[in-house]
Structures are given as structure tokens and as C-alpha cells.
Structure 1
């Protein structure tokens, strides 16, 4: 493509090329999708307790899990959403401990020092399983 060196017109971005290609492909296509099938959002299922979250965040919520409130509810939620029984919360904590052990140098830098790292690591120990974990790892 020859262009005048004094031209003020910019080159199109990659995304502008892609958009132009797709619009050209859809205009050449003999089968067009109806506006009603592609423009309407998928209906979202009703979720209990959704009204307890701010309306701006509703779009980002895929699932709500109501777990036992015993101080381990965050771990219970993660276990449930990973497809495990919510009583597998201690396994989630154990996997977090293993993660911290494998990449301790990175996490020490991330948390700004050994003291904060050790506080976090000790908070993940499950009562009664601490000695077993220390023996295994």
C-alpha cells in the first residue's frame, strides 16, 4: 500500500482489521442469525440470598453456597465450589499450606517479610492435624 509520507491518517489496529474481516464475512454469509437469538442475554437462574449483594456485582455471581458458619466457612465454600463436600474444608487448608511451603520464598516477598508469612502459615494449621501435617511435610 502506497501512502503519502505527510498523511495524518493512522494505520488501523489489529482489532480494527479483525472487526472489518468479521463484518465482511457476516455480510457475505447466506445465513444470518436473527437479532433476537444473539442480542438477548441468557436468562440467569434465581439464586437465594442474591439480594444481600450489591446490585452492580450480581452479573459476576455464578453461584451462591450457604455453608455452616463456624469460622471455616470460607474454606467450606471453596471446597463445595470445587465439587467436594463442604466438610472437606480442612483439605482446602492443607492444600494452601502445601502451596505456601512449595513457594515460600515468593510468598515471603509478597507478604513483605517472614513474620507475616509465618503468621499466615500458622493460621492455616487445623487443630489436631498440625502435628500430622508437620510429620508429613
Structure 2
């Protein structure tokens, strides 16, 4: 029973929960980046270089794979060198890495501003003011 309680404490600690939330958000963000690359960026690149669909560009490595098939169909028939898919994944990675760089850069700027801002000491409490007045009055009596 002690091990179960210890595991529950570990799992409910803030760092583990933050990590779980980060992984879930990262997976959702990855879907967005995939859509940006596959649905927005790659069609424009393909159109610019002559109506090419990068996701279906490959070199057959097996004699059983005829040229001109869609990548998934070609993979069913034999080995293929899917360089177009690799280019798409590489662009995906570069966009994701750049976005993460921008986020971390912004966070670092915020942290530097926070560290550079001088902290204003809090105003003294009523008790501190009263004690200071009492100390000053006692010092005047002792000095006489």
C-alpha cells in the first residue's frame, strides 16, 4: 500500500502534471504544424516548381514498383526511397523548431525584463511604523 501512495504523490506533483500537459499541447501543436506544411506550404512550393506533389515523390528500389503510383500504393508493392516525404517532414521540423525558438526567445526576454526590474520594497506595516517611532523616542530619552 505504501508504494501505491508514493506513486500517487509522485504522479500528482506539479512537475509531472506540467510535463503531461506539455506533451498533450505539443501533440496538438504538432498537428497544426503538419497542417500548415501539408495543406498550405507544400502545395505552394509544388505549384511554384511545376504542379508537383512532394508527398508522392519517390525513387523505386524494387523492380516490382512501377513509376507513377502514389507513394502508399508503391510501398505496398516494394521498397521505395521516399525523398519527397522526407522533404515534407524536414520542412515540418524546421517550421516547428523556428516556432519553438521564437517562443523561447520571447520567454527569455520576459525573464530578463523581470530580473532587470528593480523590486520596490513593501511599505512598512503599522506595527513597524509604531516600533520605529518608539525606538526613536527611546533614543532621544537616552541621548539627553
Q: Same fold (TM over 0.5)?
A: no
Pick the structure with greater CA Rg. 2
| Higher fraction of helix | 2
Structure of higher RCO (CA pairs closer than 8 Å, 6+ residues apart): 2
- TM-score, length-scaled by structure 2: 0.28
